[in-house]
Structure 1
Amino acid sequence: MIFKRKQEAPGLAPAVTELEGAVAARDGGRTERAFTAVISGVQSAPDDARVAAGPRLAALLPAFPPTGPRPMLAKAAGFCVERGADPVACAGPILDGVRQDLLDALEFARRWTATGAAGEELPEPDEKIIDDALLSRLGGDPHEATRLALAWCSVEEWQPPALAVLCRSAEVRRLHAAALLPACRELTALDRHDLKCLAYALAVLDDEPVIVLHRPTKTGFEIRIGGIGDNFQLHTLLAHVLIGAGHVPGTPPSAESVRLATDPEPARGRSGAVATGAFELLTPDGTRIWNEGLPDDIPVVAGRRLLVLDTPSYPRTWTADRFFPHLPGTATLTRVLPPDEAHTWFTHTSPDSPS
């Protein structure tokens, strides 16, 4: 949850109306006062007021300067989504802001590296680093340099509102994720920001067919997956679909593990349930796909994602709680492949087991 404490505040709807008027009038002092009232009002309002306010707050985001309180306004809109506001209606402005901050943070890193000594590390994302010397080092227009520096320091603040919309709508992910994921991964690779949750949410596959080959039995299946946050959840659902239905041998996952992976109701805290590994997940060339990874790690071969299952090389257990509490996963067996089709897919794989 983005906001945890409730404070006394005026009604939310009048506060939002006042903020809209202040922004339209370009009145800085009035906008500041209205903004403070909105942030307080979002925390104390009933959910029906938050439902109505969410899209209105999101729509105001483009009018706020990047060097101002835009991330906090995005958090307010995201909190309204958490409490029932339409994620599709709120997503565009929120994720546009995410994209701009990701790109600005990457440009900050590029300029820092270009003007520094070889091997010099990038700074920690803390606004204390922003001073005249830093802005001079970044070069260009001072306002632009300030924007880049603030993006470097504040990009993580966009993660909660982004997750609020991404984890509540497959349509939002379909419309926006592909444009954001490369920049998110590039920034994450610089190892200065914790954007793992955002990267995972952007990489979620929806309504994705996967060819799954079970090496011990030389059988093949087409399984359609969606909403799966990581490969722990995928592993459980594959075992449920294949072992639980008697298509391959093994011990099926517990009913509780399956429920935790698929329940449309959001998870409430930690369950304490344990899942047990049934397979080794492999790429077609025999490289292990780690449970800590993503279904998006499954490579595309001949136009389809191709996953190989083998006998586990060692026992594995993990907590059965899903990575995204608000995102239920699905895995549906759509076809058992005829033997000749399964054989054709096996020709794309390595015959060797992983080391």
Structure 2
Amino acid sequence: MSDILNAAQAVADDAHKRIRVFSDIPADDVPLFGDTVHGALLRACRNATDDERDAALRALEPIVRTAGSYHVGIIAIVCGTLVEWGGNPAIVASALLDRLTEHVALATVAWLREDNETPERLFERNAEAYGASRTIQFALLATMAIVCRDIPARQYARATPGLVDALEKLVSLEPFVPEADFLLQVLALTDGMNLTILHPETRRGYRVSLEAVGSNFHLFTLLQGALIGDPAQGFLPGTPISAVTMAIAKGEVSPDEDTYDVARFQFYNWFALKPDGTIDGANIASWIWGEGSPADIAPLDGERIVVLGETVLAIRSWSGFFLNIHTALRSDVRVTAQLSDAEVTTYIDRIKAQKAP
């Protein structure tokens, strides 16, 4: 452990060195992870235990908060690598995300410079912008390693003032920064949303929680996988989703070819239920459209309710909805509760008493 902490301290000491002239920043980033303090720390942690990697992350966390723009990007990729190897992403998540908006904005300054402005001139005009431009991809890659493994980190990033706007501005510029676009895609996913699912035909109901769900097509597949099963065990009847399709939808494996799924239900907003308790399948306005997102599902008194009915189209299928943005990202719909018959009846009666929007 002492070797790792000593190596982390060497990284911290290096980060505190003030960059005074253009030549203080290496022309090539590749050697940074060779015979350097950063490379020494990574080598010390490569075969370490997770606890030892966590100790290194805790030692680096305050440096992420205080280092200059060039050094913070370098330290970020070291932290991201330790997370990829098993370190706890929560240790450095807030520190990195607290710096990221400024880092992206500084890199954007560099991207917006005049075509005839050399890197040396940019450094003289704004050394922090030049430093950020050199390490922005490192910072974004490290952020992806963290947010793809940690739901609270994703929620923290979404709540970070100005971060999404800064990323959107950066991706609108040339040269294109794909890592910024990937991060925006991850932050656009739905996490932590709770849905109530009603299947009036069987008087079954469920509460579910969403994790990293993209489009409603993605939601449909995950819902079908979570709810279809043995009716004697409280599940819904229907043809089960294949294990391969579910593994792809959850991000556990990558598709070898275009993967598609077929609707086992028609998915409705709550106001599809008519006063007599039947579903108005012809009311297209009540359909939940697959191209939308779970946030588009209509709430009733603040609660989003999905009503399941028989399919109304001969075959409804979808493809190209699976994420696979990052190998560590996992998507899921978890059943958190099964509703009793009385609870389902209460929901249906409550909906029947409502006036459709």
Query: What is the TM-score normalised by the length of structure 1?
Result: 0.66
Distance 1:22 1:71, change over 3 A: closer
Equivalent position SS for 1:290: coil
- Alignment of 1:96 with 2:98, yes or no, is yes
Matches within 5 A, 1:137-152: 142-143=125-126, 147=128
What is the one-letter code of the residue matched to 2:224? A
Partner of 1:6: none
Number of the residue aligned with 2:197:
212
Offset, 1:82: 0.8
Q: Does 1:256 align with 2:241?
A: no
**Partner SS for 1:212:** strand
- Which of 146, 160, 164 aligns to 2:145? It is 164
Alignment-derived partner of residue 81 in structure 1: 83
If the length of structure 2 is used for normalisation, what is the TM-score? 0.65
What is the percentage of aligned positions where both structures have the same residue?
19
Q: Secondary structure at the match of 2:197?
A: strand
Q: Is structure 2 residue 219 aligned with structure 1 residue 234?
A: yes
Change (3 A) 1:174 1:149: same
**Offset at 1:317?**
4.6
Match of 2:11 in 1: 19
Q: Which one-letter code corresponds to 1:172 in the other structure?
A: A
1:183 equivalenced with 2:168 (yes/no): no
| Residues 14/129 of structure 1: CA separation in 2 closer, same or farther (3 Å cut) | farther
Q: Is the 8 A contact 2:223 2:333 kept in 1?
A: no
Residues 71-112 of structure 1, C-alpha deviations (whole Å, 9 max, x = no match): 232112111111111211111221112222345578x5xxxx
Do 2:15 and 2:71's aligned partners in 1 also have CA atoms closer than 8 Å?
no
**Structure exhibiting the larger radius of gyration computed from Cα positions:** 2
Q: 1:282 and 1:190 mapped to 2: Cα distance?
A: 36
Distance 1:349 1:218 in 2: 23
CA RMSD of aligned residues (A): 4.5
Partners in 2 of 1:183 and 1:156 — Cα distance?
17
What is the alpha-carbon distance in structure 2 between the residues aligned to residue 185 and residue 289 of structure 1?
28
Q: 1:198 aligns with which of 172, 176, 183?
A: 183
Q: CA deviation at 1:237?
A: 2.1
Q: Which residue of 2 aligns with 1:38?
A: 37
Segments of 5+ residues of structure 2 without an aligned counterpart are 271-284
Residues 199 and 31 of structure 1: CA distance in aligned 2, closer, same or farther (over 3 Å) = closer
Deviation at 1:166, TM superposition (A): 1.5
Amino acid at match of 2:150: S
CA distance in 2, matches of 1:253, 1:226: 18
Q: Is the 8 A contact 1:281 1:308 kept in 2?
A: yes
